[in-house]
Amino acid sequence: MPKQSHSKIPTPQPGETFHWNRYFTRRQFIKGSAAVLATAAAAAGGIKTGFKENQVAYASEETSGKTVAIPTICENCVWRCGAIAYVKDGILTKLEGNPEHPNSRGKLCPRGNAGIKVLYDPDRLQFPMIRAGERGSGLWRRVSWEEALDFTAENMQRIKDEHGPEAMIMSSTHNLTQPYFENLLNAFGTPNYGTQRSLCFNAMTIAFTYTYGIAQPGVDYDNCRYIIYTGRNLAEAISNSETQKMMEFAARGGKIVVLDPRFTITASKAVEWLPVKPGTDLAFFLAVNHVIVTEELYDRDFIEKHTVGFEKLKEALQSYSPEWAAERCEIDAGTIRRIAREFASYRPAAVAHPNWRTSNFRNSFQTQRAIAILNALMGNWGKPGGLTPEGEESGPELGSLPQPPYPKVRAPRLDGVPWKYPLVPLKYGVIQEIRDALLTGKPYQGKGWLVYRQNPLMSIPERRKTLTALKNLDFLAVIDILPNDTAYYADVILPESTYLERWDPIAPAGNKLFLRQPVVEPLYDTMSGLMILKELGKRLGLEDYFPYEKEQDIIKAQIAPFNIDFDELVKKGFYEVKESEDHEMHFQTKSGKVEINSSLLESVGEPGVPVWQEPPAPPEGQFYLLTGKVAQHSQFTTQNNQWLMELTPYNPLWINAAVAKRLGIKDNQKVVVESKVGKVISRANVTEAIRPDCVFLAAGFGHLSKALTIGYGAGVSNSALHETNTDKLSGCQALSETFVTVKPLNSEEIAGGETS
């Protein structure tokens, strides 16, 4: 049991108005588990809402005083690791990886282990609340669930009646409840759906979809012998099972080559680290493809049988020699040639990893296409040691609840899909365009925004603009577990139960079905996302789209095709489905083959094969601002986690040692970092481990919400610096195309602080 815990004294009563900032300064530090037990018990006992059907499956008198192991699924990132929760007398004491789960393989990363501190976060949202002062004033009123839900639904309905359903934006990030969130969105009738995709790896998923028909292929690590990672830092951006497999692969003597402007931990494990110039990894891969095609090192059989457009590629690659590339990417031509030959000599057990964001430039879509094609040249699809068709989303087909068809949408989307971005899938969207549309009022004015488990204020570039857009809204509602930055500026907050207190729909992984179930009773007056969405739907007259009385009804419908006993599933946490038949070489593309030359790209007037696209470079005296992850944090969600913040309390600005010396910047000294759109004051991490023309800031820090007492004031936000640069093909935000100046902090500027 966590020994020390904040306790909020006193908790506002229903109807009481309180000031967030003051409310949180009145806290006391209480020592000892007894206090936590008492708080938890009081909270659990005092708040029956009537909506809750969260009967914790295991709880009984027999288990009193004993530690019970409950299988569930982690949600401290999106990887969905199977976890086992150890609970004693209603207190969660430990989380461990579930050995049965292919994503965790019995292990959890630091974030997964720190899930306990998500549940026992001192700043958690404990009850529904409605704004009682100006937006962002910190003044709130505690209300009942009925009032909060009525208030939310009334406002949504009012906007629908006055401006049409499209004036209501709804956004959410990758989660298990998402299908029902999409139900609300589609049934409500708005096309304006915001996801995290365009800020993440749209370029990769779209490139691979248009090449192979699969968004995110896997890698057969067990048989692979050579992998090229491009900006993919698995050691620090942990995808638990894949990180484990990468390290096993490396320990076996598998060859790793890493292209990254930073000497990441992944790079430190590589046989070869290539500190590529940002934005020019495209040149590298064009040249590698050039060598492989001109020296005929490719899999002729695979190319002939399973691909289209090879001749066009051959022609396009002609001018992209290693010498041509070396001038651009600053990797020696001899090295490029050698790597191309070595790589090809291992085929088909050689993979150019699909990565996440590569350089994160507008040309990254081309880079991803070049990488996808390099794999095709290796003929490694479905072969031992090659790319595997099983992506993240694959798995057995689940049952579902019957529901009516959605109403027809009449309005165009605010984010320009597909009228401005013809190739971007509707489910992905381009969220930064929604923000801009709110500011321009074009093609029409958005009026309301329902944010579910997302923090657009922190994630979208140019934070200052996003804040203005949010403040201009008629109505902003947030569903979350923490008082995040967007919630701080909202009109109503609907507190969700954490993943350790609620049921979620089934999550398939491989050939197994896994269950997320509550491991403790909800500590506070919170509800599961599924029930919040249903209650909102009910109040909006959309009840038919939520045909369940409690969360378990959905799960029961999902497992109906498999003849599984629900109670057994609850006890065991997973069910193993028979392995599906072997995959045929068929690709879900227009031609049914691997599209080296993409007919879709050609149909919108773009070249069908990857071509060089010159990336912008910083002017003299400026740096590429790189972003990335640390292993201890997940995006913007973990900076209030007591344990994770103990490990990584802020994000210093990495700057090359030689450059720092020239600029008179000492390690740990305060520096002013300024881009076209913002300025922050950070601390310098003077290091050899970064290119001289780059600086680096890890993502996730620099929160604006004063209600996050641990995360507020920790580090700086790179969204405050990022310019908005969207690739017209993939809709992907080019995060690394922001250039900054760096200088030591002068005394006269100290008063300024961070400006966002």
Q: List the x/- string, 18-47, binding to other proteins by CB under 8 A.
A: -------------xx---------------
Pick one of 273, 310, 624, 712: the residue that binds other proteins (CB under 8 A).
273
Q: List the x/- string, 676-695, binding to other proteins by CB under 8 A.
A: -----------xxxxxx---
Residue 250 touches other proteins, criterion: CB under 8 A: yes
CB of 724 to other proteins, least distance (A): 31
Region from 166-174, 249-257, 449-457, 578-586 binding other proteins, contact rule CB under 8 A? 249-257
Q: With contact defined as beta carbons under 8 Å apart, do 653 and 641 qualify?
A: no
Q: List the x/- string, 224-243, binding to other proteins by CB under 8 A.
A: -----------xx-x-x--x
CB of 503 to other proteins, least distance (A): 24
Number of residues counted as binding other proteins (CB under 8 A) = 56
CB of 201 to other proteins, least distance (A): 21
314 vs 318, 351, 593, 667, CA distance in Å? Answer: 7, 20, 18, 49
CB of 689 to other proteins, least distance (A): 6
Residues 6+ apart with CB under 8 A from 266: 229, 232, 233, 234, 235, 236, 246, 256, 258, 260
- 115-134 binders of other proteins (CB under 8 A): 116
How many whole angstroms separate alpha carbon 537 and alpha carbon 545?
Answer: 8
How many other C-beta atoms are found inside a 10 Å radius of the C-beta of residue 392? 18
How many whole angstroms separate alpha carbon 690 and alpha carbon 696?
Answer: 8
Q: With contact defined as beta carbons under 8 Å apart, do 664 and 643 qualify?
A: no
Region from 44-52, 111-119, 347-355, 413-421 binding other proteins, contact rule CB under 8 A? 111-119
CB of 107 to other proteins, least distance (A): 5
Residue 669 touches other proteins, criterion: CB under 8 A: no
Residue 643 touches other proteins, criterion: CB under 8 A: yes
Closest CA to 474 of 163, 13, 91, 42: 163
Angle, CA of 540, 449 and 478, to the nearest 5°: 85
If you count them, how many residues does the chain have?
756
Nearer to other proteins, 272 or 749 (CB): 272
CB of 110 to other proteins, least distance (A): 4
Pick one of 37, 78, 265, 611: the residue that binds other proteins (CB under 8 A).
265
* 143 secondary structure, DSSP code: -
Region from 368-376, 438-446, 655-663, 744-752 binding other proteins, contact rule CB under 8 A? 655-663
Nearer to other proteins, 273 or 320 (CB): 273
Angle, CA of 270, 273 and 274, to the nearest 5°: 150
Residue 334 touches other proteins, criterion: CB under 8 A: no
CB of 508 to other proteins, least distance (A): 23
Closest CA to 741 of 627, 617, 625: 625
Paired tokens of 755: 């400006």
CB of 109 to other proteins, least distance (A): 5
CA-CA-CA-CA dihedral for 174, 717, 367, 378, to nearest 10: -60
Pick one of 54, 195, 196, 244: the residue that binds other proteins (CB under 8 A).
244
Exposed/middle/buried for residue 68 (C-beta within 10 Å: 0-12, 13-18, 19+)? middle
Residue 448 touches other proteins, criterion: CB under 8 A: no
Residue 642 touches other proteins, criterion: CB under 8 A: yes
Q: DSSP secondary structure string, 616-647?
A: P-PPTT-EEEEEE--TT--TTTSTT-HHHHHH
- 45-104 binders of other proteins (CB under 8 A): 93-97
Element holding 252 (H helix, E strand): none
Binding site for other proteins (CB under 8 A): 1-4, 31-32, 93-97, 106-110, 112-114, 116, 235-236, 238, 240, 243-244, 247-248, 250-253, 255, 263, 265-266, 268-269, 273, 275, 631-632, 642-644, 646-647, 656-658, 687-692
